Amino acid sequence: MAEDLIVTRTLVIPASELRERFSRSSGPGGQHVNTSDSRVELSFDLVNSPSVPERLRIRMLDRLATRLVGGVLTIAASEHRAQLQNRAAARERLASLLRDAAAAPPPVRRATKPSRGAKERRIAAKKRRGITKRNRRAFPDDQ
């Protein structure tokens, strides 16, 4: 499965920059897990990758700061019994994580004030609610 990882239309990670490590899994499989290396750890060196543009690298490093160890992003997958399925799951999770980190920031919200009509409607609703509550009392006030 030495194929490039497609993150977005413009960002493709070459297979040579991905490192896979296999180990025994504690997931499903019964006695099978005691004899096969089905757990997959997929690592990507984000800091030293030549395939990530500099403007994206800064944004991704900032957003993935808590997930990086020495500039390397590692994903572990052991939810499937087969190594091939775990490899595919790890690649998909890595692509999803990088896609989210590379996404453009949301537009900045401009603060606005409520309109005069909105304020009046809010006050009128509060008054109506107060009258409703007042009418529920055992001895309503004079009003």
The Cα–Cα gap between 67 and 47 comes to 13
Is pTM, for the whole model, over 0.85?
Answer: no
Is the pLDDT reported for residue 15 higher than 70? yes
* pLDDT higher than 70, residue 142: no
Stretch 10-23: mean pLDDT: 88
pLDDT at 83 over 90: no
Domains along the chain with CATH numbers: 5-102 (3.30.160.20)
pLDDT in tens, 101-127: 999 889 999 999 999 999 999 999 999
pLDDT score of 132 = 94
Please report where in the chains the tokens 């309503």 appear, as a residue.
Answer: 140
Q: At what angle do helices 83-102 and 54-63 cross, to 10 degrees?
A: 100
How far is residue 38's CA from residue 87's CA, in Å, rounded to a whole number?
A: 9
Q: Using H for helix, E for strand and C for coil, what is the string for the chain?
A: CCCCEECCCCCEECHHHEEEEEECCCCCCHHHHHCCCCEEEEEEECCCCCCCCHHHHHHHHHHCCCCEECCEEEEEECCCCCHHHHHHHHHHHHHHHHHHHHCCCCCCCCCCCCCHHHHHHHHHHHHHHHHHHHHCCCCCCCC
pLDDT above 90 covers what percent of the chain?
A: 44
pLDDT (0 to 100) of residue 63? 92
Q: Is the pLDDT of residue 33 over 60?
A: no
pLDDT of the residue at 28 = 57
Q: What's the pLDDT score for residue 81?
A: 80
Model confidence at 30, pLDDT cuts 50, 70, 90, reads: low
